[in-house]
Structure 1
Amino acid sequence: MSFKMSHRGRKSGFTLVELLVVIAIIGVLVGLLLPAVQAAREAARRNACSNNLKQIGLSIANYADRSEEKMPFNKDQAMCNGGNDTGRFMFQLSNDGAWSWIVAALPFMEGSDIYNAFDFKADAYSGTNLIQAARPLKNLLCPSNSSMTAVRTGQAASYFNWNGYTMGGTDYVGSLGHVNSGWKDCGAIPTFPDAPLNRFVPGSAGTPWVNGECMLEQVNYNGVFKQVGPRRLGDILDGTSNSIAAFEDMHWRGGNQTPFDYNVTADSAWVNPNATVGNLRNLMNNRNPAWQQGAGDQRCHGWSSNHTGGASAVKADGSVQFFSESMDHIVRYGLATIKGGEQVNQ
């Protein structure tokens, strides 16, 4: 007698419990991996931002090489001769012209086509000039800045009469130095325990800066740039490796708005002389309402970025460095000035 053993094959598969375990493991792995991916992306954005500053540093050096050591500069003579601030962002004949140092440096930062398209003899609001001024320039925008690449300048009509035009923005500005004047001292400066009174004035909000006064304040600008007119490389007595030429500036606005308004306005347009220079007197990434960067005036912004823990700057020798937002105040002062004789330990 023979017996045939017959048995059906068992179907393989996951039980519900096993599937839930697998899903949970995948979720944990994704949760562990996501911060690393985000950090890698931000590192790439920060690197691209540093490359932008490197390009800006090179453009300053190349301009000086072609201009008997004069660096690119703001032209805003009409306002400084006593005119009204309203509406002059570049080359209006009736106002003796005004434009930013970035406009002057365009041929040295892959912007020759834009520079050549400008009509420096035409009104600022003429068709061709408006078209060029509205162009967002990639090397002037930090990839970590999520704001629009162009700004609606009519948002800031309280200071400049921009008539609602749209302009390309900049996330980088030239350094006016560590200025104890009306320029962008938009709130009381805090008392620092390690700050001698000849460097920081406790509680000072700066002096008024209105029509015709900027020429009087030219002597106060102790950085690589001035509000109006050029510096020469030879003016940087502290050494080009010890002086910041340009730095990140997100053009955050504060003033009467709580919490901070992080939207850019007319003060970030790269054609605007007031938008392309800044003061290093205030703390980096300053959001404290007691001495905020923004106080309702377009000139109220400073060294700031969307990077974690600090912001970058390019020195006058073309080298780029990322600085901690908790950097020593005296170090910031030494890097801001061009002939203070400070020993800077960076």
Structure 2
Amino acid sequence: MPRKGIGMRLRNHRGFTLVELLVVIAIIGVLIALLLPAVQQAREAARRMSCSNKQKQLGLALHNYHDTFQIFPHGYFDVGTYHRRDTWMQQLLPFLELNNLADQYKADTNQYVHNMTGSFKTEQLPAFRCPSEAEQDAMGGAGSKVDGGFQGNYIACTGDGYMLYQYAATSTSSTLMQGAFYHQSKTKMSSLLDGTSNTLVFSESICRPGVNGWGGAGGYWGGAPTGSYGFTTAQGPNTTVPDRIYECKTTTFEHAPCVSISTTDEKENFARSYHPGGVMATTADGAVAFFSNTISLQTWKALSTRAGSEVISE
């Protein structure tokens, strides 16, 4: 009798058919489509946590500065014989373990910070960059230089009105600028009559593509008098209303629209971010929270004033 051996078993074996292969590929495609949003959400959650930690460090640096000098750093400074248009950012460098950069900056005796040529001016500082912004840069999004120097995402709160070009910290300017930071501001903890937990000190902004004009949020090296050092709460987070800056070169950037208003003093930069649905912001007590795009404008404005006596609901 013929023997049934290996040869018979091999003749009975068959591989995948084309239909089966296509079904498997389709199933893998569906699984990837289902998993990709979850992966993206997890990555954004990690970036948002990192952004929160960076703002926490800014809040801690602000407290350490206050402990040292009994006052917050000025919003910006535009008088004197050197380092004019210096902002709170340069003042906080030593308190963010960036002493080397701070020493190089102090050693430069140029009258205006935008005329400085040292490498410290273009140094990319992760402490002032939101990871979600950095992700957009990697994808061919916005740039990271403005006014010839490093551009960051974190900006100081000026209040709920226009960001006026003030040359002296007079009673008039301090009355008009209701936030913790403005020209030659000398804010103390005791000045925050609304309470430190009810007063914003920092939030974030979006960098526009390319090398921007003057006054765009986060431009620490020259555009401070035209508003680059801070933001106003005249509009809510991620508003579609354009920023009103001295010179807007990128007018069609949907994430941070802007218009040029070089002939008026009524400048406005608004809080913006790539975080879905809102922005991260820091209050004067050092706490960091996520503020939704749908926050009441009245509440958002109330949080930005240092002594407005507003009642802020939960």
Q: TM-score category by the smaller chain? A: 0.7 to 0.9
Residues 338, 262 of structure 1: alpha-carbon distance in 2 compared, 3 angstrom cutoff = farther
Q: Percent identity?
A: 28
Cα RMSD of the aligned pairs, angstroms, is 2.9
Residues 4, 277 of structure 1: alpha-carbon distance in 2 compared, 3 angstrom cutoff = closer
Q: One-letter code of the match for 1:242?
A: N
TM-score (norm 2): 0.80
The answer to whether the 8 Å contact 1:241/1:315 transfers is yes
3-state DSSP of counterpart to 2:279: strand
Tell me which residue corresponds to 2:144.
150
Q: How does 1:65-84 map to 2 (within 5 A)?
A: 65-68=67-70, 70-78=71-79
Q: One-letter code of the match for 2:203?
A: F
Tell me which residue corresponds to 1:122.
110
Is residue 2:183 matched to residue 1:227? yes
3-state DSSP of counterpart to 2:46: helix
Q: Please identify which structure carries the higher helix content.
A: 2
1:245-288 per-residue CA deviation (whole Å, 9 max, x = no partner) reads 11112255xxxxxxxx8975443322343322221111221124
Cα deviation for residue 294 of structure 1 reads: 2.4
3-state DSSP of counterpart to 1:144: helix
The answer to whether the 8 Å contact 1:251/1:301 transfers is no
- Distance in structure 2 (CA, Å) of the matches to 1:313 and 1:108: 19
Tell me which residue corresponds to 1:55.
57
Is residue 2:290 matched to residue 1:322? yes
The answer to whether the 8 Å contact 1:136/1:149 transfers is no
Cα deviation for residue 107 of structure 1 reads: 0.5
3-state DSSP of counterpart to 2:184: coil
Q: How does 1:194-343 map to 2 (within 5 A)?
A: 216-251=172-207, 264-266=212-214, 267=216, 268-272=218-222, 273=224, 274-288=227-241, 294-297=258-261, 299-343=267-311
The answer to whether the 8 Å contact 1:151/1:265 transfers is no
Residues 59, 289 of structure 1: alpha-carbon distance in 2 compared, 3 angstrom cutoff = closer
1:177 to 159, 171, 174: 159
Residues 262, 219 of structure 1: alpha-carbon distance in 2 compared, 3 angstrom cutoff = farther
Tell me which residue corresponds to 1:203.
none
3-state DSSP of counterpart to 1:269: coil
Q: One-letter code of the match for 2:60?
A: L
Cα deviation for residue 228 of structure 1 reads: 2.2
Cα deviation for residue 106 of structure 1 reads: 0.7
3-state DSSP of counterpart to 2:193: coil
3-state DSSP of counterpart to 2:110: coil
The answer for unaligned runs of 5 or more in structure 1 is: 79-90, 154-165, 184-208, 253-260
Is residue 2:119 matched to residue 1:131? yes
Is residue 2:154 matched to residue 1:167? no
**Is 137-146 or 213-222 further displaced after alignment?**
213-222
**Is 265-274 or 106-115 further displaced after alignment?**
265-274
The answer for unaligned runs of 5 or more in structure 2 is: 245-255
Tell me which residue corresponds to 2:252.
none
The answer to whether the 8 Å contact 2:114/2:221 transfers is no
- Distance in structure 2 (CA, Å) of the matches to 1:108 and 1:97: 21
**Is 319-328 or 96-105 further displaced after alignment?**
96-105
1:13 to 12, 15, 34: 15
Q: One-letter code of the match for 1:224?
A: A
Cα deviation for residue 54 of structure 1 reads: 0.6
- Distance in structure 1 (CA, Å) of the matches to 2:281 and 2:127: 14
**Is 264-273 or 320-329 further displaced after alignment?**
264-273
